Structures are given as C-alpha cells and as structure tokens.
C-alpha cells in the first residue's frame, strides 16, 4: 500500500484575536517598540505549531512581517537604491508602506495584494536568511520544520524591472532576455540558502511556484528546468507547489528534477485529467491539493477518500494537502455564534481544513471513528441547503432577451443627455464620501444598541444632507448620497440579501495589516425588500440635480464573498443580478434617473490562463447586463472599475452595455485612454479618473486639465466625463473639498475652450 502523509501550509498569520494587526499597527503608531513587536511575532509563530500539530510535516518561514514577496526581495537583496542601505525593520517598512513603498498589486486571481519587487540590476546576494532563522527558531522549541520559500520563477515573474538609466524611472515586466540574466544571478542565491539549510540538517524544503499556473511560454519553461536542475543538485530534497489553477505544462512540470510535485486538484479538473492521461513519476511525492483553500464549504470526505485511493495508483507517496495556502480563509468557524441555523457545521475555515486532512488520513488508515465522521460529514454536505424554489424558477425562466437592453446605447444616451440637462464634460464622484470618526462612532453605537434604528437613520440622513449641500456648493453635475450607511460595499448588500451570511470574526488579510470579512453565500440569493431606495430618494429630495443610485454589481458581490461550490458561480451571479434588477426597478419607480452598478472586481475574476477568459467573461458580462436590461430607456446606467489592468479586457467591458463608465486613470496620467482607441470612436462614454484618491495631495486645476486634454486627444468631447479615480471614503473632507473644487474648475475651463472652438468652427 502507498504511504499517505499530511502537510498543510499558509495558515493565516492574523492570529485568532487579530494580534498580527494589533502588533503591526501598534509598532507603526509607536505604542509598541521593536522588542514588543518581535516578541509578539514570536508568540504568533509558536501558536502556528498548535495549528499544525496534527500534520505529519510542519512548514516554517511563513510568518511574514508584511508580505512574503517583500521578504523574498529582502532575502535576496533585491532592493531599490532609493531606500539606501538596508537597516532592518525601518527599511523593511519603508518598502512596505509610505512614500517610498513598492507598488501593491493583486496576487494572482485572489483579493490579496502583494508588494511588487523592483529589480534594478541583475545582482543579488543573500542578505537575510529568513528560512534558516525560522528553522532554528522552531528547532529551539524542539520541532523540525520544512522551510518554505517563494520559488525563483514566481519571484521573477511577479517582479518588475525598474530602468532608471535615462533619468526617468520606468517600471516594466521582465523581458525574456531579462528573465535569463536576472535568473542566472538569482539562482546562486537560492543555492546558497538551500545549502545552508542542508548543512543545518534540514531534510526537505518547499518552493512555492504558483506562477507556473499562468500562461508560461516555452522559453520560460526551459529556464525553469535549468534553474531547478541547479537547485536540486545540492542534495537537499525539494518539493515544488503550483496552485490557483492547473499547471500550465503538466509534463514539463512533472519532469522537474525535484523530490515532490504539488498539484491543485480543486481549482478545476485539468490536473486530474492530465494525470490520468500522462501518468505521474512514481518515485516522486505527489503533494495532492484536495481540500479547498479558497472556499469555505466542508469537503465531501467520502468522495475525497475515493479520490485519494485513485491517486495512490499513480504515486507511491501521496501527501494530502490544501489546494493552495490557507491564508485565503478565516481562522476558525468555532467562534461564530450568529450564523444562520445549520450553517456553521457546513463550513470549514483554515483550522477545519487541517482537521479534514487529518480525518482523511485517519480514515485512509481504517480508523473506525474517523471513517464514521467522514461518512457523517458527507451525508451533511450532500443535503441541499437554503434552496429557494422561487428563485430557481425565476432563473430557469430567463430568456436570452432578459440579457439585452434595447435600443442601443447611442440612442439611449442621446435621450438621456436631453432629459438630464448635462453640460459638456459633466462632473461627478464615484460614490463614497469621507467615513469620518463620527460616522464610525455612530455605527459602533448602533451595533452596541446605544442608538435606536430611528436615531441611527436620522444621523445618517444628516450626513447625506451635509454631503448634498457640499456637492451643490462645489457645482458638481451628478451628485451622490455619500454611502455613509455602508461599512463595506459588499457587506452592506450581503446583510440585506437572503442567502448571504456575514460573519463576526471571519477576518482575512487583504494586504499588510488590512483585513476584511468576506460574506458567505450559502443558498439561493434573493432580496426580501428594497436595500437602498430610502437613502437615495432622501438624497434626491434635497436637490434638483440628479443623484446616482449606488449598487454593488453581481460579479463583485460574488467574487468578494465565499460561495458554496455546489452551485455554479454563473448561477449565483445571475441570482444576485436578479435581486439587483429588482432594486434598479424600485429606484426608477422612486424617481432616480442615474444608477451606478460598481464592478471593481470584474478584472480580478479573469482566470489565470487566457484560454479560459471567454468562458468567464461570458457569464460575468451577462450577469451585469441582467441587472439593467429591463431598465427604462431614459435611466442612465453607470458602472465603475478601478485598480486593475484594463487594456486587455476592454472588448469585454464594452459588452456590459452600460451608458457611462468611470475608471481609475490618474496614476497613468490619463494614459489608459489610449487603449480606448481599439473601440469604435465614441462607443463608450467614459470618466477617466483625474484625482488619485489614495493620496492626501490636492491635485491642481492644471494637473486635472492635463489629464483631460490627454483624454480628449482620444475621445470625442461628448463621450467624456470627469471624476476622481475611486470613492473618497478614506479621505478627509478638507482634502476632498479643495480637490473637487479644482476638478470642477478644470472641467469648466476645458469645456469652455471646447465650446469656443466649436462655435469658431460653426462660423467658418
């Protein structure tokens, strides 16, 4: 019989009481000193031993002080010159946050953000041996661990090259040539680290290579094979893990000269199909990612046991593991006391995933009580849960025409323009206004029961009143109510939709010390009553200018939540869309003329491999269109997206068939508009962001004008709107007011010049 071992990795670093966040923020604010920080982190490292104790192998080098990509850059000495000589914590955090920080970007197709290393020269050196330090830390506590590192390919693939030779720094992805030169310099540093681990008596090291699940060109595979040849020649056995999708070239991956190959069998069935087709090198360990590291529904363990059985026909050593690192999950379900009846026992967060691995192994070895639990859990998860027949019927009755709005956008916009009395270059904002300490206090008081619902609502209305007055004063053309009632754009709607649960403690790191609580979609989604109508109509009652209704779109609602994988993502997105379509109808009936449906996560959902894009964007665009296909001709539908790469998905964006798009653009100084030239001129009406909402700096009218001119060099004036990059909730009023003032001033100046030119032309 084959041997079966267990190995879990990537347990959340946050700590059960969010100690990680408290420590870091304490250190940054000066209330915790360096020693306090390091002691607190040491306690968190020890805590991890308890989490992993039921596993056969225990990983180390997992508790980053901010981000594992940054750690890797520090480890190999890949630091930009601007921070000067590396002096430990202060340089580390200077790279992580503040003015000199590295760029923050989405980590693969997840909602975690990593720091993008900037590579200047192809020279690396071992500057801090984190893996060795951590091995020693645990050894002092009597525990042998398996050090884990981000592998050289993933490190380079996710890094950027910073060229500053010509004076102005340019940041670009590495070219093929650079992969070669930088790789040749990087691999010796990895060799040095692995050798130090081997001399320390370490028996095995793990290299994370999720970038091998992207589209990996041949030239890269050749380098990867060469690099791993060098790494494994040093005699320390290595395992390579690739996850978040199937590996891009199954055969070349399995041929890497390493002791163990990790395969994600959860993201989709491609690895399993390839395994059946091409077989597996028996002598290598198969690290089988079989419990879901990204979703929270408990596994059907009986089915998994059969799957393990079939895997053992291919490999002599099978290692049961999560599909990917566990840090995409909250810590444990046991602390949740307010979930809907029957839900908690159906959920697995990180700790429960480890328990599943342990149970599977015990059951595999024939332990009767484990076999019994496996059976019970499968029976439970196979029962349908929180189904709603009416919703299902509504879904089944959908016709193709329910996804298409008519007449075409050009006709709709002509009418809307007339009815809305908008000037040339209309100005607006993205939705939220500053969430001041006072608003957070109100929310806390309401939660604690110190304010009644009426008192709370009245206080929120006062803030809406204030925001409308300010916008009138500033002379904005399309107003917003300010989103003061929302702590989070997803959680707010999740709390109001059936089929969504929200958690009390289900925090997940988004980056650094920033956390959020993804809701859980546990059944069919429907809307018991209107969600936004009262606040929006109140705002509209205060002004003659149009106030935008603000909704979070179906794709973002889905992607920023967990869902039960039994229901296809596509169906859930349609269910959410139907609920939003009802909201659109109610807003219209209440006299709202413009409705914005935000989709900031639209790009992030794109699969890692291009060949899967059409399928994802097919349902994602249909879900969005379902929200507004029945909207009246005169209702103007806006959408908003931000902080992603849009160039390559514009054709999909165009299929959303909205009337107006607002998009972030200030970081690129409006350059993003160039990509719009791929579309028929004027076919999209767009507000390119002219104001960076992440910075307290107030843009001058001239800076805004420059971006507008850039935009107008590509788009016809009637297609251009003026707005900030994103919502203003993290800013202060005394930054927002002058910034919007300058934005409106700039828009008017440019509009005047345009009008002058047109009248001149008309005359001649």
Residues that bind ligand GLN (CB under 6 A): 430-432, 483, 489, 550, 598, 600, 640, 642, 726-727, 729
Task: Out of 726, 736, 747, 750, point to the residue binding Zn ion (CB under 5 A).
Answer: 726
- Scan for tokens 């993933």, then name that residue: 154
Alpha helices in 389-452 (DSSP H): 389-396, 409-420, 437-447
Quote the least distance from Cβ 642 to ligand GLN, whole Å: 5
Residue 432 contacts which entry, Zn ion, ligand GLN, none (Cβ below 5-8 A, type-dependent): ligand GLN
CB of 208 to ligand GLN, least distance (A): 28
Residue pair 520/501 in contact by the 8 Å Cβ criterion: yes
- Cβ proximity to Zn ion: between 545 and 729 the closer is 729
The only residue of 642, 653, 656, 690 in contact with Zn ion, by rule CB under 5 A: 642
From the CB of 719, what's the least distance to Zn ion, in Å?
20
**Could you say which of ligand GLN, Zn ion, none residue 699 binds, taking C-beta under 5 to 8 angstroms by partner kind?**
none
CA distances from 646 to 552, 643, 663, 664, 757 (A): 19, 9, 9, 10, 32
Q: Near Zn ion by CB under 5 A, which window of 107-115, 242-250, 352-360, 640-648?
A: 640-648
Q: How many angstroms from the chain centroid is the CA of residue 137? A: 32
Looking only at the bridges linking them, the beta strands covering 686-689 and 660-663 are parallel
Nearer to ligand GLN, 422 or 489 (CB): 489
Comparison of 245 and 491: residue with beta carbon closer to ligand GLN: 491
595 in Cβ contact with 635 (< 8 Å):
yes
In the complex, the smallest distance separating the C-beta of residue 133 from Zn ion, rounded to whole angstroms, is 39
CA–CA dist 631, 634 (Å, integer): 8
Radius of gyration of the chain (CA): 27
DSSP sequence for 7-61 = B-----SS-TT-HHHHHHHHHHHTSS-HHHHHHHHHHHHHHHHHHHTTSSB-EES
Least separation in angstroms between CB 110 and Zn ion = 18
Q: Give the contact letters, 594-623, x = binds to Zn ion (CB under 5 A), - = no.
A: ------x-----------------------
Cβ atoms of residues 606 and 423 within 8 Å: no
Stretch binding Zn ion (CB under 5 A), from 155-163, 226-234, 711-719, 725-733: 725-733
Q: E strands along 484-547, which residues?
A: 498-501, 508-511, 514-516, 520-526
Cβ distance to ligand GLN smaller for residue 209 or 692: 692
Sole residue written with tokens 């100690």 = 19
* Min dist. Cβ of residue 413 to ligand GLN (A): 22
Specify the 3-state DSSP secondary structure of 354.
helix
Residue 670 contact partner, candidates Zn ion, ligand GLN, none, CB within 5 to 8 A by sort of partner: none
Task: Tell me the torsion sign for CA atoms 77, 80, 84, 90.
Answer: negative
Residue nearer to ligand GLN on the CB measure, 40 or 727: 727
Q: Count residues binding Zn ion (CB under 5 A).
A: 3
Minimum CB distance to ligand GLN, residue 450 (Å): 27
Interface with Zn ion includes 362 (CB under 5 A)? no
Q: Give whichever of 216 and 601 is closer to ligand GLN, judged by the CB atom.
A: 601
Residue nearest to ligand GLN (CB): 727
How many angstroms separate the Cα of 571 from the Cα of each of 380, 585, 598?
Answer: 22, 21, 19
Q: Which does 546 bind (CB under 5 to 8 A by kind): ligand GLN, Zn ion, none?
A: none
Cα separations in angstroms, 216 against 155, 183, 209, 269, 444:
14, 15, 12, 19, 48
Q: Under 8 Å CB-to-CB from 433, ≥6 apart: which residues?
A: 467, 480, 482, 483, 484, 728, 729, 733, 736
Binding mask 31-60 for Zn ion (x = CB under 5 A): ------------------------------
Residues with active-site annotation: 694
**Closest CB to ligand GLN among 412 and 640?**
640
The residues binding Zn ion (CB under 5 A) are 600, 642, 726
């Amino acid at each position: 019989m084959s041997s079966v071992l267990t190995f879990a990795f990537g347990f959340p670093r946050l700590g059960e009481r969010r100690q990680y966040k408290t420590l870091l923020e304490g250190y940054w604010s000066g209330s915790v000193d360096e020693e306090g920080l390091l002691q607190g982190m040491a306690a968190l490292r020890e805590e991890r031993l308890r989490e992993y104790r039921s596993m056969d192998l225990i990983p180390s080098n997992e508790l980053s002080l901010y981000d594992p990509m940054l750690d890797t850059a520090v480890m190999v000495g890949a630091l930009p010159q601007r921070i000067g000589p590396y002096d430990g914590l202060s340089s580390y955090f200077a790279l992580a946050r503040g003015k000199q920080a590295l760029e923050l970007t989405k980590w693969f197709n997840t909602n975690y953000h990593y720091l993008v290393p900037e590579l200047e020269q192809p020279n690396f050196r071992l500057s801090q041996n984190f893996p060795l330090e951590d091995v020693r830390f645990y050894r002092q506590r009597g525990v042998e661990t398996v050090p884990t590192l981000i592998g050289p390919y993933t490190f380079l693939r996710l890094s950027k090259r910073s060229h500053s030779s010509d004076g102005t720094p340019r940041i670009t992805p590495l070219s093929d040539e650079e992969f070669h030169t930088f790789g040749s310099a990087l691999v010796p540093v990895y060799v040095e680290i692995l050798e130090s681990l081997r001399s320390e008596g370490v028996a095995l090291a793990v290299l994370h290579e999720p970038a091998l699940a992207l589209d990996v060109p041949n030239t890269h595979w050749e380098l990867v094979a060469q690099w791993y040849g060098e790494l494994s020649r040093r005699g320390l056995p290595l395992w390579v893990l690739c996850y978040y999708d199937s590996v891009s070239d199954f055969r070349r991956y399995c041929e890497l000269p390493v002791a163990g190959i990790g395969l994600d069998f959860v993201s989709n069935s491609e690895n399993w199909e390839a395994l059946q087709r091409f077989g597996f090198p028996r002598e290598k360990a198969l690290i089988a990612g079989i419990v879901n590291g990204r979703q929270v529904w408990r596994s059907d363990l009986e089915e998994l046991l059969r799957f393990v059985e079939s895997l053992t026909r291919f490999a002599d050593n099978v290692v049961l593991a999560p599909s990917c690192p566990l840090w995409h999950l909250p810590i444990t379900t046991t602390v949740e006391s307010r979930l809907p009846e029957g839900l908690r026992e159906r959920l697995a967060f990180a700790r429960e995933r480890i328990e599943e691995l342990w149970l599977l192994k015990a059951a595999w070895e024939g332990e009767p009580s484990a076999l019994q639990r496996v059976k019970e859990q499968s029976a439970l998860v196979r029962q349908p849960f929180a189904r709603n027949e009416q919703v299902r019927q509504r879904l089944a009755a959908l016709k193709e025409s329910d996804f298409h709005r008519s007449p075409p956008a050009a006709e709709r916009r002509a009418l809307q323009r007339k009815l809305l009395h908008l000037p040339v270059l209309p100005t607006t904002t993205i939705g939220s206004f500053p969430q001041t300490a006072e608003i957070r206090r109100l929310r806390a008081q309401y939660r604690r029961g110190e304010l009644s619902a009426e008192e709370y609502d009245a206080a929120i209305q006062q803030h809406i009143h204030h925001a409308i007055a300010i916008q009138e004063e500033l002379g904005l053309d399309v107003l917003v109510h300010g989103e003061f009632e929302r702590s989070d754009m997803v959680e707010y709607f999740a709390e109001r939709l059936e089929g969504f649960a929200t958690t009390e403690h289900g925090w997940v790191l988004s980056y650094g010390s920033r956390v959020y609580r993804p809701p859980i979609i546990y059944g069919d989604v429907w809307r018991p009553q209107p969600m936004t109508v009262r606040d929006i109509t109140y705002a509209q009652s205060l002004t003659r200018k149009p106030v935008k209704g603000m909704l979070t779109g179906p794709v973002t609602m889905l992607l920023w939540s967990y869902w039960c994988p039994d229901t296809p993502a596509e169906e859930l997105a349609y269910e959410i869309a139907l609920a939003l379509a009802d909201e659109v109808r109610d807003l219209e009936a209440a006299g709202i003329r413009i409705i914005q449906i935000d989709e900031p996560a639209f790009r992030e959902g794109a699969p890692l491999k291009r060949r899967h894009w059409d399928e994802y964007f097919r349902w994602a665009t249909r879900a969005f269109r379902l929200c507004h296909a029945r909207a009246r001709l005169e209702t103007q539908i806006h959408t908003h997206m931000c902080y992603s790469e849009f160039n390559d998905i514009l054709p999909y964006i165009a299929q959303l068939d909205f009337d107006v798009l607002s998009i972030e653009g200030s970081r690129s100084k409006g350059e993003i508009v160039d990509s719009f030239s791929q579309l028929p001129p004027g076919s999209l009406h767009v507000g390119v962001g002219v104001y960076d909402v992440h910075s307290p700096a107030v843009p001058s009218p001239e800076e805004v004008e420059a971006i507008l001119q850039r935009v107008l060099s590509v788009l016809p004036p009637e297609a251009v709107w003026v707005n900030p990059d994103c919502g203003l909730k993290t800013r202060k009023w005394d930054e927002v007011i002058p910034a919007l003032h300058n934005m409106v001033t700039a828009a008017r100046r440019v509009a005047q010049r345009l009008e002058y030119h047109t009248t001149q032309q008309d005359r001649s």
